A and B are shown apart, each in its own frame.
Chain A
């Protein structure tokens, strides 16, 4: 069983600040990493995919991957109250159509 660990939070940041969400994983051969946002009672929504070491930016979101350290993170700049949600770190398995979910980090952005 692949382990994906996230700090469950809750993480609270003031509006306009940078929110930093972290994820570590145990499977050294995983090559596909995803961040999903899930609002309460809704389904997960893909916000970032990252496959290579380094940073990937999309609007206010930056994903960072360090395979040597088995670490992936998500930075949210200029946090907004609408960013308040649970963020799921997900790994794709190299062995097939299987994905491993972290337990999620609950983020609250305080106006």
Chain B
């Protein structure tokens, strides 16, 4: 069983819809991530939150809007998506690094949301 929970598991939305993906973790991790994964490709980083603050935005289009309401929750708000945005969206968490040069703790992934944009 995964300790990172994502909802919904599947989502079909039209290009004019607004929807949100949700992610929750109870591992005490302070870093949370959104990744996008297309078929037969590795996950592609979208956003990183560290201690509830956005620390990395990988030049993601503004139709994707992340939100971190608290240390356990991460949302991804979707608006005016394109069919090419159809993908598996993965949430992950990890213990935040204490300092540069320290070891990374691994990413723990949720089960993902399969998004289809029609």
Contacts and interface: CB of A to CB of B under 8 A. Distances in A.
Interface of A: 31-32, 34, 41-46, 49, 51, 88, 90, 92-99, 101-104
13 contacts: A34-B107, A43-B2, A43-B110, A44-B90, A46-B107, A93-B104, A95-B100, A97-B104, A98-B45, A98-B48, A101-B43, A103-B42, A104-B42
B26 to A, nearest CB: 17
Given A42-B111, A43-B112, A49-B106, 18 more contacts: A42-B112, A43-B2, A43-B88, A43-B109, A43-B111, A44-B43, A46-B107, A88-B42, A92-B103, A94-B100, A96-B97, A97-B31, A97-B55, A97-B97, A98-B45, A101-B42, A102-B42, A103-B42
A46 B66 CA distance: 25
Q: What class of interface size applies to chain B in its complex with A?
A: 20 to 34
